[in-house]
């Protein structure tokens, strides 16, 4: 899976270069941030009419940032590990001066935010170049990427299928070489699912690892995290965006040791599980085989691997749906007028209506269930450093469906392996591993204890070396 251009003299090599390759090219004088940014903007202009990954571009400010970075590199004074590295921003995250539409008709034409979200501010401070904003379903409420504002985003490996969501625009842009980094969000799997279905790497950090401000009704489930085509690029991005924010009351202590560059998995304790011990629909054989082969590879590299069968205190689906629906009910009621809500996706309105019917006793029951799930999950990591299992039980559904065959919109029972870790606050990653039917990428999921992102990167780098997942999608028409 790892793509490392040996020379950055062609557009294709620029498009698929890692962060390390780009900054080495700047350091050696082989390429400049302006040249890289210009090539990527050209590529976006050529591919985006079909890919529909980007929903907003500001070439003037983007090239201005690239020019400033180029001047710093000429003086040999880069200001951070991402200086001159382009990054896209999912359109659920505030960028000062850029529209924040969230895929919503209700937000079209509203004034742009005056302040960057903390993660965006950290990227700017590190010299990263903001390329543009990527597509999301309305308010990040779906596992596909389609909205009435921006239309539908297809999977670059098969234009008749979805890339997943809600960070589907970010994942598609990475897969198509429209930038080396993307900032996504994950409230139930929104980084990991599209990463898995488009063959890129994505990490949902521990809750509190990436600072957030202002406080959000989506806390603690939803977090901001890095997406990239290689593990090291994502690690560098997390290093930057996780720096302190004094206004975040939930921020984890900083610094922490995820910056170490340990690559060996010798002695790493890996618990492999076919289904994370939760009820799920039948898992496609290719996905089960991928988990098994990834476990065998890690064992061959010196990891201590054994099967684990978690015994959760309750079915995570019940409390998850309470929080999912109640959160959207509160979000819509507290943030929008009734006339604005009426403009929104009917499925989103339905989620909120169901949330309005949840009483305080039912919400308290869900809270206690979530706490019991989190307590049990922490106990698992007394014995294991990471858990290894599937990201989803199936591949991406048809482009026009809201969920796989047999499931209705808003029914998350088809995808139980991701939202669990949003409720327990633990870090989890989708790691491209192999080919599936139709040459579609298949990923495996790695989960670690709260604050233990180093173990995820350690195992991810080992898998990356041996991955046979496709390196890039076929050429678009």
In a domain, 477, yes or no: no
**Residue 256, pLDDT score:** 66
- For residue 255, pLDDT over 80 is answered with no
Q: What is the mean pLDDT of residues 123-133?
A: 98
Provide the pLDDT confidence category of residue 10 given band limits of 50, 70 and 90: low
Q: What is the mean pLDDT of residues 44-57?
A: 98
In a domain, 1, yes or no: no
Tens digit of each residue's pLDDT (9 = 90 or more) over 314-373: 999 999 999 999 999 999 999 999 999 999 999 999 999 999 999 999 999 999 999 999
Provide the pLDDT confidence category of residue 476 given band limits of 50, 70 and 90: confident
Provide the pLDDT confidence category of residue 260 given band limits of 50, 70 and 90: low
Tens digit of each residue's pLDDT (9 = 90 or more) over 170-186: 999 999 999 999 999 99
Which of 98-102, 242-246, 292-296 is least confident?
A: 242-246
In a domain, 3, yes or no: no
In a domain, 179, yes or no: yes
- For residue 7, pLDDT over 60 is answered with no
Question: Is the omega angle on the peptide bond into residue 182 within 30 degrees of 0, that is, cis?
Answer: no
* CA-to-CA separations, 210 to 76, 297, 320, in angstroms, rounded: 29, 31, 22
Which of 9-18, 158-167, 318-327 is least confident?
A: 9-18
In a domain, 2, yes or no: no
**Residue 410, pLDDT score:** 87
The stretches of 224-284 forming alpha helices (DSSP H) are: 231-241
CATH value at residue 197: 3.90.1300.10
Q: What is the mean pLDDT of residues 272-300?
A: 98
Beta bridge partners of 304: 269
| Distance between CA atoms of residues 44 and 65, nearest Å | 18
Question: Is the omega angle on the peptide bond into residue 220 within 30 degrees of 0, that is, cis?
Answer: yes
Which of 2-16, 26-40, 215-229, 388-402 is least confident?
A: 2-16
- Specify whether the CB–CB gap between 409 and 401 falls below 8 A: no
**Residue 2, pLDDT score:** 41
Q: What is the mean pLDDT of residues 155-173?
A: 98
- For residue 4, pLDDT over 70 is answered with no
Q: C-alpha 221: how far from its chain's center?
A: 14
**Residue 101, pLDDT score:** 98
Q: What is the mean pLDDT of residues 62-85?
A: 97
Query: Which residues make Cβ contacts (< 8 Å) with residue 300, sequence separation at least 6?
Result: none
In a domain, 65, yes or no: yes
**Residue 3, pLDDT score:** 39
- For residue 86, pLDDT over 80 is answered with yes
Q: What is the mean pLDDT of residues 204-209?
A: 96
| Distance between CA atoms of residues 403 and 297, nearest Å | 32
The number of distinct structural domains making up the chain is 1
- For residue 253, pLDDT over 50 is answered with yes
In a domain, 6, yes or no: no
Average pLDDT, the chain: 95
- DSSP per-residue codes, 194-238: HHHHHT-EEEEPPTTTS--SS--TTTTT-EEEEEESSHHHHHHHH
In a domain, 476, yes or no: no
Q: What is the mean pLDDT of residues 446-469?
A: 96
- pLDDT above 90 as % of the chain: 90
Catalytic annotation, residues: 90, 166, 190
**Residue 332, pLDDT score:** 96
For the chain, helix, strand, coil in percent to 5 are 40, 15, 45
| Distance between CA atoms of residues 27 and 247, nearest Å | 35
For residue 264, what are the domain limits? Answer: 11-466
């Amino acid at each position: 899976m790892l793509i490392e251009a040996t020379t950055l003299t062609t557009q294709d090599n620029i498009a698929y270069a890692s962060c390390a390759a780009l900054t080495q090219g700047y350091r050696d004088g082989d390429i400049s941030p302006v040249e890289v940014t210009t090539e990527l903007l050209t590529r976006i202009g050529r591919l985006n009419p079909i890919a529909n990954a980007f929903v907003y571009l500001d070439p003037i400010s983007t090239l201005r940032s690239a020019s400033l970075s180029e001047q710093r590199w000429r003086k040999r004074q880069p200001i951070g590990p991402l200086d001159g590295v382009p990054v896209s921003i999912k359109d659920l995250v505030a960028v000062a001066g850029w529209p924040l539409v969230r895929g919503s008709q209700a937000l079209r034409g509203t004034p742009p935010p005056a302040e960057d979200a903390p993660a965006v501010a950290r990227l700017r401070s590190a010299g990263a170049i903001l390329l543009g904003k990527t597509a999301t379903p309305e308010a990040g409420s779906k596992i596909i990427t389609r909205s009435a504002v921006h239309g539908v985003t297809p999977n670059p490996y098969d234009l008749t299928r979805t890339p997943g969501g809600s960070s589907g625009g970010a994942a598609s842009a990475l897969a198509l070489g429209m930038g080396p980094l993307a900032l996504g969000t994950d409230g139930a799997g929104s980084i990991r699912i599209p990463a898995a279905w488009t063959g890129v790497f994505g990490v949902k950090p521990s809750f509190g690892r990436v600072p957030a401000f202002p406080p959000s009704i989506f806390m603690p489930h939803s977090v901001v995290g890095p997406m990239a085509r290689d593990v090291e690029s994502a690690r560098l991005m997390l290093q930057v965006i996780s720096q302190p924010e004094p206004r975040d009351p939930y921020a984890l202590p900083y610094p922490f040791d995820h910056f170490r560059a340990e690559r060996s998995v010798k002695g790493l304790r890996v618990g492999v599980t076919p289904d994370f011990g939760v009820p799920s629909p039948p898992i496609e054989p290719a996905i089960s085989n991928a988990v098994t082969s990834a476990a065998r590879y890690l064992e061959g590299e010196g990891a201590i691997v054994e099967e684990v069968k978690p015994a959760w205190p309750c079915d995570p689906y019940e409390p998850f749906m309470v929080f999912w629906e109640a959160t959207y009910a509160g979000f819509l009621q507290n943030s929008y007028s009734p006339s604005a809500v009426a403009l929104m996706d009917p499925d989103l309105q339905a989620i909120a209506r169901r949330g309005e019917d949840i009483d305080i006793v039912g919400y308290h029951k869900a809270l206690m269930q979530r706490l019991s799930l989190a307590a049990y999950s922490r106990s698992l990591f007394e014995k294991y450093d990471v858990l290894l299992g599937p990201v989803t039980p199936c591949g991406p559904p048809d482009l026009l469906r809201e969920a796989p065959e047999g499931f209705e919109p808003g029914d998350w029972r088809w995808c139980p392996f991701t939202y669990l870790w949003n409720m327990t606050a633990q870090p989890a990653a989708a790691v491209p591993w192999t080919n599936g039917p139709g040459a579609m990428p298949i990923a495996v999921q790695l989960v670690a204890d709260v604050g233990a992102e180093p173990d995820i990167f350690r195992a991810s780098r080992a898998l990356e070396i041996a991955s046979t997942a496709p390196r890039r999608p076929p050429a678009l028409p």
